[in-house]
A = this chain, B = another copy of it.
Amino acid sequence: MNKPIRVIQCGLGAIGRSAARLVLEKKSLRLVGAVDPLHAGRDLGEVLELNRKLGIRVSDKLPAIEADAVLHCTGSTFAGVYGQFAEIVGAGLHCVSSCEEALFPFYREPKLAAQLNRLCARHGVSVLGTGVNPGFVMDTLAAVSTAVCQRVDAVRVLRVVDAGTRREALQRKVGAGLPASEFCKLAKSLKIRHVGLSESLVFVAEAFGWDLDEVDETIAPVLAERTIRTKYLTVPKGSAAGVRQVATGWHGSRKVLELELQMYVGAKNPRDEIVVEGVPPMRVVVDGGTAGDLATPAILVNCLPRLMEAKPGLHTMLTIGLVRAIG
């Protein structure tokens, strides 16, 4: 058996804490450190609500300890976390990140991405952005579904999430219960939006070697057809039950990619559905949909050994070995 991978958890928000807990369960991994200025000085076991001490003191910055890799869960924009990536790579550590824009950083930040790639090569380590969405259901799974296609004419992905079954923070995040006008105001100021939908779209285009002429993204409320009560809030009839966000990719006037995300209270038939128009056509469905709260820490952790096997550099889900559950 290989030596366990020594992991530092960077960021102890909801996802970071779940990821850290999962690292503790894996034989192939060993949690050796944690970083989060909000919890600095506390024992990690306490922050993770384990009812036991772990003997790992949370630091306010990357600790100078023996380690192999960082699980990074601090922010959504690549430019915003670039400094952290540079520090991690500079310390000779691999990094798997939940940063949404890091799924395909060459899209919004090509210069910074190229710079990070060079830095990775120099230090002999790798960086990867992943997650469930972006990271799996609307991009990686869509791309691999075409492995058996002679030709792909167009791909449509639909993810439907019943926000009513999710935690309160998510229900609020999708605008459930807001008057439509308020929803639109918040959406316009980017306070309601799923980050990374365009990244997923551009990732899929890149997977096929497609050069899109145009990418656009729209966001609108899904209005409640009747009053809905969840455990946490009430959505009056006619107000926003949640969000419908659509990213579209074009070849001239032909729509070749469409990713549609519906997250609202009361959504029927939740699922992830990939439709490939091509030869042969494919229709791949995750029945019930992929459970984001459980799946996000899982894929972060599962990518660690795959990233470390790859050659040093800034990677994407296209360039590492097949990701699957690790032990």
Contact = CB atoms under 8 A, between A and B. Distances in A.
Given A280-B290, A294-B280, A325 B140 contact: no
A151 interface: yes
A282 to B, nearest CB: 7
Contact of A290 (B282, B285, B323, B324): B282
A318 interface: yes
Nearest to A319: B321
A136 B147 contact: yes
Interface stretch (A106-114, A172-180, A295-303): A295-303
A117 B100 CA distance: 38
B282 A286 contact: yes
B148 A278 contact: no
Interface string A272-294: 00000011101111111011001
Most buried by B among A140, A150, A152: A150
Given A279-B294, A294-B279, A324 B284 contact: no
A298 B149 contact: yes
Contacts of A326: 208-209
Interface in A100-137: 132, 136-137
Given A147-B298, A322-B322, 12 more contacts: A22-B150, A144-B324, A146-B302, A148-B296, A149-B325, A207-B324, A208-B327, A210-B327, A280-B295, A280-B298, A284-B286, A309-B319
Interface of A: 22, 25, 28, 132, 136-137, 140-141, 143-144, 146-152, 207-210, 278-280, 282-288, 290-291, 294-299, 301-303, 309, 311, 317-327
